Structure formats: C-alpha cells, structure tokens
Amino acid sequence: MTPVVPPADDADPPRARGRADAERNRTRVAEAAALVFAEHGLDATVAQVADRARVGNATVYRNYPSKTELLSEVALRWLVDWRTALRAAADAGDVPFREVFLELYARLRGDRLALDLLRAGAIDDEVTAARAEVEALFTASLDAAVADGLVRPGITYADLSVLILGTAGRLSEIGETDPAAWRHVADMIWAGIATG
Amino acid sequence: MTPVVPPADDADPPRARGRADAERNRTRVAEAAALVFAEHGLDATVAQVADRARVGNATVYRNYPSKTELLSEVALRWLVDWRTALRAAADAGDVPFREVFLELYARLRGDRLALDLLRAGAIDDEVTAARAEVEALFTASLDAAVADGLVRPGITYADLSVLILGTAGRLSEIGETDPAAWRHVADMIWAGIATG
DNA sequence: CCGGAACCGGACTAGAGCAATCCGCTTCGA
DNA sequence: TCGAAGCGGATTGCTCTAGTCCGGTTCCGG
C-alpha cells in the first residue's frame, strides 16, 4: 500500500502543487472571479473572468471543471462569511436586530452575486444548504426582534425578503453604489417595520 | 386630385379594412400581446405572442412591422391609462397621495410590462415621453404630499422609485399575485415614508 | 543550459434562443 | 368560380455562451 505518489507534504499552502506560474494563475483567476461575479452576479461569463485575470479562458477551465464550480466557490465564501457573522451575533445574544439588518444591506451593496444568491441562486447543493442556514439564522434574529417588540408583529422573513432583496436589487440595477444612498433606503425600510 | 382610393369611410371601426378573417386575427394578436407582455414583460418573445393568439408568427409581423412596434402599442395603452388617472387625481385636487401610491401598486401587480416600463423601458420616443409625463405627475403628487406634511421630508421620487419598483419587482419575481400580499408590502413601505 | 513535461492563450465547436423573412398552400368574397 | 389576400411554420441569419482543442511557450530538474 505504500503510496508511489509524491511526498504530499502540503503543509502550509494547502493547494500549492505544480509549477509556480500555474499556481499564480490559479490565484489570479480566483481573485478575478470574485470581482467579476460581484459586479455582474450570475450573468457574468467565463470570458469576463478570464479577461479580468489577464488569462486565456482555457486557464480558467484548467483550474475549475466548469463555470458552476467556480461560481460555487465564490458564492460559498460569501455565504460562510455571512453565516459566521450571524452566528457570532446570535451567540453574543445582545446584538440588536437593527444592526443585523443594516449589516445585511452593507454586505449586499456592490455585490450582485450575493444578491442573486439570496434571490434565487440554485448553483449546487452546498450553496443551497448554506443559504438555507443563513436564512434560518436571519429569521431567528428577526423573530426574536418581533418577540422583543422591536419589530412590528406580523412581519415575517418573507416580508423582509421582499423589502430588502427588492430594494437592494433596484439599487444595484440603477448602479447606485453610494453607501449613504443605500443607508437612506435601509432607514426608510426600517421605519416601516420597526415599532413606534 | 379626386382620390382613386376607396371611399375611406372608416367611421366606427377605425382600422377595419381588408378581409374579415384578417381583421379577426389582428384583434387576436393585440389581445394576446397584452396578456403575454403583462406576464413576461420585455422578455416576452414574438413566438409566445403568436402561440397565445393561436396564429403563426408571420401573422404577427403582417400586422406589426416589428416586435418593438407591438410592444410600443401595448406599453402606450398602459402609460396613457395611468397618466389619465394621475391627471384626474391632480385636477380633483383632494386625492390623498396615499391613494395614488396604492393605486400604482395595484396597477403594477401582475403586469410585468408596466414594471419593466418604469424600470428602464427604452422602447421608443413616444413611450419614453409618456413615461416622463407619468413620472412628472407622480412626482408632483409626492411633492405636494411632502409639502402637506403627509410624507416625511427628504423623501424624493428617486427614493420611492427604489422602494416601489424594487419591491414590486421582487413580488413579481417570486410569482406573488395575491392582492393582499401586495397590499401588505405597500403598507409597510407607506409606514416607512409617511409622517408619524 | 538543455530537453521534455507542464502549461499557456485564443481559435474553434456546438448548440441555444431570438427577430424577422420566405414560400407553398388555404380561404375569403366579389 | 377564381384570383387576390391571407395564412402558418419552416427557415435564415444573427448573437451569445459554455466548454474543447491544439500549436506554441515557459518552467525547472538534472
């Protein structure tokens, strides 16, 4: 059973194998993908990613078997990050829902992929599962706020989904990137759902 | 100069000329177009309209020179109708802005073309002009409400555009057609923009 | 510094989706 | 009855995109 494969001492760089230039390209592609998907969401094309990375499209496919795979990697990064933040807030216990709410707006601003993910994003099972977790955590936070009398009774996750994803989508659509403008909209929404 | 063309007594049916079956088809196409565009907005295809009218696609093109022309006719119908309503409200003078606001929500529900028109709809100059008029009338109504202290100061047409078009777009996207659900969202938005 | 393996870019393939046209056949109506 | 008006759907021509192929280039161990 003694393996014939290389020593496999992938200690520090978990994926650093093969030629150095190839590794450099892999990084470039990943970084470009993050930017391009943030800008164009699910509509981004592989060619756009390749161009941004200053690389041929074949190089993208050499590192990722399909566009879906690439999308999934970027999507999961966002979802896991947001999930971590939500869990931390839940664990702390004393984070007001308003902050969670505003934080979501801030994370959606300028990130069309994030928006697309929460809107429909059926990329693969892993992403779907992560999204479900994130939604559950957010819902729990909202329900607690309703129970505490911070948010008007009768307001559900479905309602907030329409309000937040709808307005964030529209802001993206018109190319609004000013944080103050986003904040202004968030404040109006908040005024509509908060108690007195 | 005595014209050789037919009597041209197009009194009652302004467009009734040619064979009866052709006229019938023209009507079917127009009706189908209204339904299909309402359902799919600008994304609707000519083939969908033809199928809905139970007609070959060539019949559509026999009556309308291009898809744009067809779209324009349907779009103008909606815009002129809404403009008329807005003018009537303005002339009456005592229509509370809240009613105008709710009426817009009602008119956007189940009509994706209307939504697309207000969101971006650059179909042709006529449509663009009609939309501009409609926006001006709505803005005037909003500004009056702000002046009257019914709507919080600092709320602009741009704000309402994001709130209304965003949420209506999202409701359409998820296929929500229940009037009560739309009304619920409208009420939340209203609570966010109205004074005390 | 050499040679072959690994890697590269971009031309290419395959296929979907669409507006608009063409044309042989059918139906209307004088 | 018969010719013109009208018909449908096959077809064309275009755009756009995911994914593959291949001749040339670059890296790096010996």
Residue ranges with strand state E in chain B: none
B194 forms beta bridges with B151
Output the pLDDT for position B93: 85
Residue B42 carries which DSSP code? G
Query: Does the pLDDT of residue B99 top 80, yes or no?
Result: yes
Distance CA A90, CA A185 (A): 25
Output the pLDDT for position B70: 97
pLDDT interval class at B120 (50, 70, 90)? confident
Write down the residue that tokens 């060619």 correspond to. A47
Share of chain A above pLDDT 90, in %: 87
Beta-carbon separation of B159 and A185 below 8 A: yes
Beta-carbon separation of B167 and A167 below 8 A: yes
Q: Three-class SS of residue A11?
A: coil
Q: Is B93 exposed, middle or buried (0-12, 13-18, 19+ CB in 10 A)?
A: exposed
CA to C1' distance (Å), from A55 to C1 = 29
Residues 6-45 of B with CB under 7 A from strand C: 19-21, 43, 45
The model's pLDDT over B108-118, given as tens digits with 9 standing for 90+, comes to 999 999 999 99
B151 forms beta bridges with B194
Between B74 and A13, where is the model more confident? B74
Distance CA B128, CA B75 (A): 10
Average pLDDT, whole number, for chain A? 91
The model's pLDDT over B50-92, given as tens digits with 9 standing for 90+, comes to 999 999 999 999 999 999 999 999 999 999 999 999 999 999 9
Which residue in B122, B101, B123, B90 sits closest to B168, CA to CA?
Answer: B101
What residues have CB less than 8 Å from A143, skipping those under 6 apart?
Answer: none
The model's pLDDT over A63-121, given as tens digits with 9 standing for 90+, comes to 999 999 999 999 999 999 999 999 999 999 889 999 999 999 999 999 999 999 999 87
Nearest chain B residue to A189, by CA: B192
Q: How many CB atoms lie within 10 A of CB B126?
A: 13
* Mutation choice for B interface testing from A118, A167, A193 by most B CBs within 10 A: A167
Write down the residue that tokens 């760089």 correspond to. A13
* Mutation choice for B interface testing from A101, A116, A164, A170 by most B CBs within 10 A: A170
Q: Are A160 and A193 in contact, with CB atoms under 8 Å apart?
A: yes
Rounded to an integer, the average pLDDT of A55-59 is: 97
Which residue in A152, A172, A121 sits closest to B166, CA to CA?
Answer: A172
Contacts of A161 in chain B (CB under 8 A): 170
Distance CA A115, CA A107 (A): 9
pLDDT interval class at A122 (50, 70, 90)? confident
**Nearest CB to B189; choose among A170, A176, A192:** A192
| Cβ contacts, strand D, under 7 angstroms | A 19-21, 43, 45-47, 57-58, 61, 66-68; B 18-19, 21-22, 24-25, 54-59, 62
Q: What is the pTM of this model?
A: 0.89
